[in-house]
Structure 1
Amino acid sequence: MVAESLSDAELARQKEIDDWLPITSARNAKWWYSAFHNVTAMVGAGVLSLPYAISELGWGPGIAILILSWIITLYTLWQMVEMHEMVPGKRFDRYHELGQQAFGPKLGLWIVVPQQVIVEVGVCIVYMVTGGKSLKKVHNVLCPSCKDIKTSYWIMIFASSHFVLSHLPNFNSMSGISLAAAIMSLSYSTIAWATALNKGVVPNVDYSYKATTKAGTVFNFFSGLGDIAFAYAGHNVVLEIQATIPSTPEKPSKGPMWKGVVVAYIVVALCYFPVAIVGYYVYGNTVEDNILISLEKPAWLIAAANLFVVVHVIGSYQVFAMGVFDMLETFLVLKMKFRPSFLLRFVTRTTYVAITMFIGIAIPFFGGLLGFFGGFAFAPTTYFLPCIMWLAIYKPKIFSLSWCTNWFCIIVGVTLMLLAPIGALRGIILQAKTYKFFS
């Protein structure tokens, strides 16, 4: 009897914790929530560097890799949606839970969690910098004669919004922000390629490689691979998004989730392909690593596009931060035995926002670092970790279609993981001469 009541008490505590944690507390999301959370997570400000990536890769390889990445990541996303409820009556609400199912309780954690943390925290820091720089650009475009304000201050202004928004309890409570962010990503992508097309091809446009040496061309090519790999980083929060959708044996969550993913991927294609192709077509190898910088006029439109970037990055930051909050709060409540409370959440989240802000201000070359770390973490979690899990769990027959498809994705993903950091590391070394901390 005692054992029974103890297990009841444990179950009650487990339910109390689940009802409090950000990922599992609200399971009433609609399929369209999945669509705009996925767009917000996927279409980062990285879309604006795609023309530059194509200029490093060249026309043929660039477009081939862009399309191949779109197909592979859609396939691996489908696998994750399918695996979310592959054990009847159980849901893998977090990426690492799926990892533990595939690789065992200890190894699964060690394989998934470090990579997921690098991606989610890394993206949050980059978005701090992106948000601050975009605000600065809006200020400079609208008021060219005003006194110049340091980027550090703009990052602080941008961070102030997160000190408020990070206290939204769960994914469903931020669906409005996510929707706004998804609309913004489509808007600024459209502004970027439409304005470039309207401007027309620049005189004496040159589509050859920019680097003068053979080695330079090869390293730039690796770096371009990295830029494209980072444009597809939404997988790190996909199970967490699916966890918010209700599920019954008759109507499993994978139906509405997959519907949302397909809509999201159509939006991703509408954002990525026109920006990448038109941007490179118009500017050739003179395109900047952020296409909005290449477009100088009309001033009001460039200011609007940068403002859209700010709104979108606010939403994206929250989507990625929610996964980190869930990890931190799970650790504090389950392992450190803290009671679930408002105070615990307030301290944890405020501290996290402050740390990402501080790193963003301190290290101005974080974009290069992300290229370096991202190669190790983005490519696996997006391109091939789902395939390895699929092979480990379902064990398809050797040389069957499923087996061959998964191995193809694994080979492409591992190649990306090995080559992208090389290009990024060289970029950091070349630029290191001019870096100033806290600039």
Structure 2
Amino acid sequence: MVNNNNQEPTEEELKKINDWLPITSNRNGKWWYSAFHNVTAMVGAGVLGLPYAMSQLGWGPGVTILVLSWIITLYTLWQMVEMHEMVPGKRFDRYHELGQHAFGEKRGLWIVVPQQLLVEVGVNIVYMVTGGKSLKKFADIAFPHHKPMKQSYFIMIFGSVHFVLSNLPSFNSITMVSVAAAVMSLSYSSAAWISSAIKGTQSDVVYNMRSASKAGSIFGFLSALGDVAFAYAGHNVVLEIQATIPSTPEQPSKKAMWKGCVIAYIVVALCYFPVALIGYWVFGDAVEDNILISLDKPAWLIAIANLFVVIHVIGSYQIYAIPVFDMIESWLVKEMKFTPSRILRFVTRISYVALTMLLAIIFPFFGGLLSFFGGFAFAPTTYYLPCIMWLTIYKPKRFGLSWFCNWACIIVGVALTILAPIGALREIIIQSKSYQFFS
């Protein structure tokens, strides 16, 4: 229903709208909510592609980039947590609100919103693909004699779950989904590297670059940079997660939020490094772009691990979808003057889930999508946009430690943004040559 009143909403009306919107409707989150939400947001499809990235980077560059990314993104995550309440009495509950404070009302929106939407919608598409592929792998192993089904059907089965879950109103309402997803992420990551370790190095394992040509090796290296960037993506929802935590002058939200972030990053290290290093050690340059596809024994463990992936990406999808729902619903209510209602929420969210599912069916290029979105969208919002905001707002002393650290992160992040999509587009083009739509 449309509200025909074209006047600006009053303070009381704005409060009612904020109480209805998914990001600001509930502020009773705990520090462990932060931990589970951040683990769910970060340890997703990206971890499964890390051995493949290692096979394109090689031992030395691969380990260096993995460790450097972990350090840089932990630092930029701390910056965002600190900036959430940098203005006394005000909270930047959304990434674009912080951008508006740093760059100006209009410019901040144009800088942040397109990048954040590209990340969140991109992740949802990739997770639709991941969920469908993992569900198909589980069915193929658990029911070897079943009639073969198209991958598209498995993506539709996975997507149907979100037609229900997407109607949960806010972050705190999906806490138990997020808890289950976080536990699953640790479980399937452990299953991946333990199964690889049990399998042991193959007799014909080779640690050369995957491509025989020099050009192919260079493009593969660039594509792998995007795979790594994709793995560190939680920053795109960190302010929205922090918005759910209560805050007082004595106990600001950043204390609880940072505690949860540290726990989350320890879990990230426990998942990422063993999977990446052991997966590459066992399979070398023959590893698939999803490590679980490379593993076929023991069958029961691989089947369960793929089921764990399905459960995890169900939660991850919702973590990234809620900020998108918030943007769409804010625009409909504040700009288009729709009246907040369950019907509006239902139609908006069902339409979004249907769109991401359709795009996942059309473009199921797992490896290429990881790298493209990782470089083109994730690197800016994760590696260097927080640093630019920090420099703009706090103006640290030139050539001081803070100034130097931020500029170093910016240089690394800009390089990722430029280089990774080049390799990814080549990979998508190569994969598309042998692909039939709606297969």
The answer to whether TM tops 0.5 is: yes
Deviates more, 1:155-164 or 1:365-374: 365-374
| Equivalent in the alignment of 1:22 | 22
| Equivalent in the alignment of 1:315 | 315
Query: Using the alignment, how far apart are the partners of 2:412 and 2:211 within structure 1?
Result: 25
| Equivalent in the alignment of 2:206 | 206
| Equivalent in the alignment of 1:187 | 187
| Equivalent in the alignment of 1:296 | 296
Q: Is the 8 A contact 1:360 1:366 kept in 2?
A: no
Q: Which 5+ residue runs of structure 1 have no aligned equivalent?
A: 1-6
Q: Is the 8 A contact 2:289 2:366 kept in 1?
A: no
Q: TM-score, normalised by structure 1?
A: 0.97
Cα displacement string for residues 308-358 of structure 1 (whole angstroms, at most 9, x for unaligned residues): 000000000000000100000100110011111111101101111111111
| Equivalent in the alignment of 2:64 | 64
1:164–1:339: structure 2 CA closer, same or farther, 3 Å change rule?
same
Give the AA of the match of 2:26: A
Q: Is the 8 A contact 2:223 2:372 kept in 1?
A: no
Q: CA deviation at 1:412?
A: 0.4
| Equivalent in the alignment of 2:196 | 196
Matches of residues 208-223 of structure 1 in structure 2 within 5 Å?
208-223=208-223
Q: CA deviation at 1:366?
A: 6.2
Q: TM-score, normalised by structure 2?
A: 0.97
Query: Using the alignment, how far apart are the partners of 1:68 and 1:312 within structure 2?
Result: 26
Cα displacement string for residues 194-235 of structure 1 (whole angstroms, at most 9, x for unaligned residues): 011011111132112122121111111101111101000110
Deviates more, 1:364-373 or 1:140-149: 364-373
1:218–1:12: structure 2 CA closer, same or farther, 3 Å change rule?
same
Matches of residues 18-417 of structure 1 in structure 2 within 5 Å?
18-365=18-365, 367-417=367-417
Query: Using the alignment, how far apart are the partners of 1:369 and 1:60 within structure 2?
Result: 25
Q: CA deviation at 1:367?
A: 4.8
1:334–1:289: structure 2 CA closer, same or farther, 3 Å change rule?
same
Query: Using the alignment, how far apart are the partners of 1:370 and 1:269 within structure 2?
Result: 19
Q: Is the 8 A contact 1:379 1:416 kept in 2?
A: yes
Cα displacement string for residues 350-386 of structure 1 (whole angstroms, at most 9, x for unaligned residues): 1111111111112233652453243221100000000
Q: What secondary structure does 1:146 align onto?
A: coil
Q: Is the 8 A contact 1:33 1:260 kept in 2?
A: yes
1:398–1:9: structure 2 CA closer, same or farther, 3 Å change rule?
closer
1:301–1:9: structure 2 CA closer, same or farther, 3 Å change rule?
closer
Q: CA deviation at 1:285?
A: 1.1
Deviates more, 1:74-83 or 1:355-364: 355-364
Q: CA deviation at 1:432?
A: 2.5
Q: Is the 8 A contact 1:364 1:436 kept in 2?
A: no
Query: Using the alignment, how far apart are the partners of 2:10 and 2:64 within structure 1?
Result: 53
Query: Using the alignment, how far apart are the partners of 2:86 and 2:296 within structure 1?
Result: 51
Query: Using the alignment, how far apart are the partners of 1:432 and 1:139 within structure 2?
Result: 25
Deviates more, 1:34-43 or 1:351-360: 351-360
Query: Using the alignment, how far apart are the partners of 1:401 and 1:364 within structure 2?
Result: 44
Query: Using the alignment, how far apart are the partners of 1:363 and 1:67 within structure 2?
Result: 31
Q: How many residues align?
A: 433
Q: What secondary structure does 1:157 align onto?
A: helix
Q: Is the 8 A contact 1:364 1:435 kept in 2?
A: no
Q: Is the 8 A contact 2:227 2:374 kept in 1?
A: no
| Equivalent in the alignment of 2:4 | none
Query: Using the alignment, how far apart are the partners of 2:410 and 2:311 within structure 1?
Result: 35
Q: Percent identity?
A: 72
Query: Using the alignment, how far apart are the partners of 1:370 and 1:137 within structure 2?
Result: 19
Q: Is the 8 A contact 2:193 2:279 kept in 1?
A: yes
Cα displacement string for residues 268-306 of structure 1 (whole angstroms, at most 9, x for unaligned residues): 000000000101111111111111111111111111000
Give the AA of the match of 1:300: W
1:167–1:397: structure 2 CA closer, same or farther, 3 Å change rule?
same
Cα displacement string for residues 40-91 of structure 1 (whole angstroms, at most 9, x for unaligned residues): 0001121011011011000010000000000000000000000000000000
Query: Using the alignment, how far apart are the partners of 1:92 and 1:330 within structure 2?
Result: 15
Cα displacement string for residues 103-123 of structure 1 (whole angstroms, at most 9, x for unaligned residues): 000000000000000100011
Deviates more, 1:78-87 or 1:361-370: 361-370
1:192–1:8: structure 2 CA closer, same or farther, 3 Å change rule?
closer
| Equivalent in the alignment of 2:418 | 418
Q: Is the 8 A contact 1:40 1:316 kept in 2?
A: yes
1:189–1:323: structure 2 CA closer, same or farther, 3 Å change rule?
same
Cα displacement string for residues 392-431 of structure 1 (whole angstroms, at most 9, x for unaligned residues): 0000111010000000000000011111001101112222
Give the AA of the match of 1:186: L
Give the AA of the match of 2:57: L
Q: CA deviation at 1:8?
A: 12
